[in-house]
Structure 1
């Protein structure tokens, strides 16, 4: 399924001219040799384009799709339809006329090999040109005399017949494709049915293409598909030690999926790294705007404005197509997400997801809706997924990467609108218990024990994974009507911290540094101590502030049900209750800061 999807993408990209088909590549072309239908040279036309270099305009050769060019060392090797002046005109500045004749003859022979079976007028014109052109008298041609210096300084020349480039003529293109395919086939190579395309009697790829750009994998490229060990689980069905014969993929299909995947990975705006997972994504019809929108919905800069993203989201939610910069985005557009991770010389597939573009966008939007929580004004509303992953890692560790499998599990949960991984929630709580508030300095930003991202992810987790218990109790801002004791205790802890800070404005550390973790896990053992401290702090305050805090404490204490016997406080809180405690603390603290801002 993965390879089939990539082959379809390759076909679409090649149709749009974004990647070259097998046997084709790009070359820098400076001139066109214009031939008439009789094969006469009627013009030498510049193919250069104008670009700005600083404040000056400069002409440079154009990048054009041409038949794949050979790699030359010292021998004479001609190219088809596109080559330098020595091979196509018999004119150069090397000062070796015999070698130049040899080059032109090599080009003539190659074009006859490829085009002799063609019956079209354009193919016959090209052959007629090579048969009738005289290298010995080439410099005397008026067209060459007029452009001699420009020709000698030029890069490559592309043959044009009439008003069409030879590379655009279907018969000539097919002749080249057939020649390239037959030239690459060996007489003793394995042939069979391709598992991807279904084509029969195809040459089978023994070695598959290298994939470059996966974070952590070999920079020279790693294999997505490979077989090279005997008597291992992936070598079976009588094909031990037969490498690619174990799962036959044609050379054509192997080249296609490799080219498409390398194209995606080369575009770093459409390949994101989350933890150890490199995520690539694409629409079946290679619509870049879909990738841009997907990137923007994950919280990264996509080049789309907020209004454009909002419009797309609204249309996707309503099941309607959206128009972005003249491109129609359908909610039914097939969309693919592939997660890759390094594994030695190979690449592991973390996940492969297929759904409609509209469904993926709605799932991401639902995740972001669950994340919404009151936050400081300098923080953004939209939280990137990489920020959530980063929040699970130790910021002071030399290797601050998250768990290798955690990023993949989180991405799958978001994209499929599934339950969040338990490990994510546990890691966030662990970081809260381990981290401390740290002021900015030394080039590092300010850090918080209970940060915006951590609190937002806890809220999303409780709503998604424990919705029956917390739905309606957990809101974006502090919920004055929530009487759940764990949430109330979190709010109460924030008020007690505020009392301490008001009584001791210059204090370096608060009760949060010493008591937060134990108050969150075992409140019955800690809160009596905190109340005793609060009474001492209240005695230091002026009467209006003391009255305010006593009323605040009274309102929160009224929410705690008094039992007939024993303490009203739980001896231990479960993990989800600890999460609610953190949320109560965070939201009450944010409400405090918001109140201060309004007072000012």
Structure 2
């Protein structure tokens, strides 16, 4: 049971040791003096590194449900709660949202007024004095910029002004940040929190908790507090995991979360676990609308190893894992230790579990090794200009092969399908096959990229690695020869057609030279050659003879190059069904989807092998290390590749 795993994780990490507080990033500190006056021209900004990430504070956490937008946190919130301002001024609020904002704003200052009355602490009175001076107007350090899309600008203490994001703000009085005060503020909130819990427990139904198995415990009507700080598509105010808001979801007259009875304590624990995991780099990876969550039940360091493999599987990391996966450990971990993996997404205020699994560490290790073996494919040149900064074999990059790039060259990851990310995640951990239908999406994007960008499309190593992964799973299940890392000899017609197209394309470039600026054979014929090879290659076979003739007309070097290329063509043609010598091979009328994948790999690997040969040859030539017997007439003509 997933909730039980999360509950146990919370207990292991002592996440309920001080449940009245939670760690959150707070970007702005509004500084007040002993008179409740603003110090400086605006708030001070907190950040801890060059990326200017806001500093995390242990802030008060309410047990009241915040999803409705009418409940604020104590002493810490956004400009909506503090000043009754629309946090997204580019979007006009409807009547309901306006009312929710006003109620939340009133709730924020009501809590401070109550704290002031209860504690008689002067700092609370100074906050109320500051608020009273505003008289319902925005503070002086906030300005609504109306030119272009409306946005809030915030003036910092030093007078500089920047755009305000969806940031949290809090207060300091006379140099003391109130939420850090262990003398009055934090003890007060612990008592207030206990009061909220007692009030909830007092009105709660008693029953059996499905997570702990305990009987006659207070059952949570709604599971709170919401998990906050999650990226889109989660709601900024927070999201919950268990909820029932439609009659169709209810049974036997049970309403809300009584359909899945969980004790108040257990619900807080599993939500605290998700909140904690979402902040840990070794346990959480966000990819567009999906979030990958994972942990080893006992050994934390295992999660670190797997996190690197999921996020940044560069060649060095992969090579080290394949040889010595547990390097740095005093001894290998217990192979039977359980490893938990979840794929989350969200829809507004609801967290969605797309998939979850538990597996032994030794099985996860074995499956990861098979995963990277299947993905291993020789790159086309270096990383390439079109490659993102992430490693090409990361789940992020593999998933991005299904979407197009924006005008700035970056991926719009919000368009990724979370089900696809879940499938990739599961394939890596459980060695499960990916759906063949995924191949069509990847190949369609490849055909479009080749037609538009030519050989630049081959820098997308992720795409060809994913094609190889999909094909190898199917070939392995059928007991057939799997695709290799580099170009290889096979009698597979589709693969060899891809190789042949690559040779024809290189021949055309050599024949025309670097001055050629028209469409290449690959750009014009990749799509048709990969689907209806008989039609495409009947034309290409005649065309390549024209290019051979043109190359022979370029002197002795051209004649030797033409002879060498012709030999390559004859060698590949000889891998097809035997035909009359000197005649074209018998090409298939059409290729299936899987055959189109093998065609793409044949084309890519032939091109990658040629690119590697060109790069090595030119490197030696430039360094003056080329021996006379190493001069290659074909590679000498490769200036335009």
Q: So what's the TM-score if we normalise by structure 2?
A: 0.65
The match for 1:356 among 353, 360, 367 is 360
The match for 1:274 among 284, 287, 291 is 287
The corresponding residue for 2:10 is 10
The corresponding residue for 2:591 is 573
1:391 aligns with 2:397: no
1:367 aligns with 2:367: no
The CA distance in 2 between the partners of 1:466 and 1:274, in whole Å, is 29
| Shift in Å, 1:355 | 1.1
The corresponding residue for 1:229 is 246
| Shift in Å, 1:65 | 12
| Shift in Å, 1:497 | 0.6
| Shift in Å, 1:66 | 13
What does 1:294-373 align with in structure 2 at a 5 Å threshold?
294-300=306-312, 306=316, 314=323, 323-324=328-329, 329-373=333-377
Contact 1:473–1:482 at 8 Å: present in 2 too? no
The CA distance in 2 between the partners of 1:178 and 1:345, in whole Å, is 23
Contact 1:299–1:383 at 8 Å: present in 2 too? no
The CA distance in 1 between the partners of 2:486 and 2:532, in whole Å, is 25
| Shift in Å, 1:566 | 11
The corresponding residue for 1:443 is none
Task: Give the length in aligned residue pairs.
Answer: 475
Contact 2:283–2:294 at 8 Å: present in 1 too? yes
What does 1:42-121 align with in structure 2 at a 5 Å threshold?
73-75=112-114
| Shift in Å, 1:352 | 0.8
| Shift in Å, 1:332 | 2.9
Contact 2:452–2:523 at 8 Å: present in 1 too? no
CA RMSD of aligned residues (A): 4.3
The CA distance in 1 between the partners of 2:397 and 2:500, in whole Å, is 29
The match for 2:492 among 459, 484, 487 is 484
The corresponding residue for 2:617 is 599
The match for 1:561 among 560, 577, 584 is 577
Q: So what's the TM-score if we normalise by structure 1?
A: 0.69
- Could you give the per-residue CA deviations for residues 344-364 of structure 1, whole angstroms, max 9, x where no partner exists? 432221101111233223212
- Could you give the per-residue CA deviations for residues 204-254 of structure 1, whole angstroms, max 9, x where no partner exists? 110112223153121111221112322x1x211332xx2222221111001
Single out whichever of 505-514 and 327-336 deviates more from structure 2: 327-336
The CA distance in 2 between the partners of 1:545 and 1:566, in whole Å, is 21
Helix, strand or coil at the partner of 1:546:
helix
The CA distance in 1 between the partners of 2:123 and 2:349, in whole Å, is 47
| Shift in Å, 1:567 | 7.0
Cα gap change, 1:438 to 1:299, in 2 (>3 Å): farther
- Could you give the per-residue CA deviations for residues 64-114 of structure 1, whole angstroms, max 9, x where no partner exists? 9999998762346799xxx9xx88xxxx89999xxxxxxxxxxxxxxxxxx
The match for 1:547 among 548, 555, 563 is 563
Single out whichever of 185-194 and 149-158 deviates more from structure 2: 149-158
Cα gap change, 1:294 to 1:567, in 2 (>3 Å): closer
The CA distance in 1 between the partners of 2:323 and 2:394, in whole Å, is 20
| Shift in Å, 1:590 | 1.0
| Shift in Å, 1:178 | 13
The CA distance in 1 between the partners of 2:115 and 2:348, in whole Å, is 40
| Shift in Å, 1:257 | 0.7
1:465 aligns with 2:452: no
The CA distance in 2 between the partners of 1:195 and 1:153, in whole Å, is 39
The corresponding residue for 2:447 is 433
Contact 1:370–1:460 at 8 Å: present in 2 too? yes
Q: Highest CA radius of gyration, 1 or 2? A: 1
Helix, strand or coil at the partner of 2:402:
coil
| Shift in Å, 1:190 | 0.8
Helix, strand or coil at the partner of 2:450:
coil
Contact 2:505–2:521 at 8 Å: present in 1 too? yes
Q: Which runs of 5+ in 1 are unaligned?
A: 28-51, 55-59, 97-148, 160-166, 168-174, 441-445
Helix, strand or coil at the partner of 1:466:
helix
The corresponding residue for 1:588 is 606
Contact 1:450–1:586 at 8 Å: present in 2 too? no
The CA distance in 2 between the partners of 1:21 and 1:200, in whole Å, is 25
Contact 1:363–1:416 at 8 Å: present in 2 too? yes
The CA distance in 2 between the partners of 1:566 and 1:310, in whole Å, is 43
- Could you give the per-residue CA deviations for residues 406-441 of structure 1, whole angstroms, max 9, x where no partner exists? 22222222221111122221211111222236669x
The CA distance in 2 between the partners of 1:278 and 1:533, in whole Å, is 50
The CA distance in 2 between the partners of 1:364 and 1:519, in whole Å, is 35
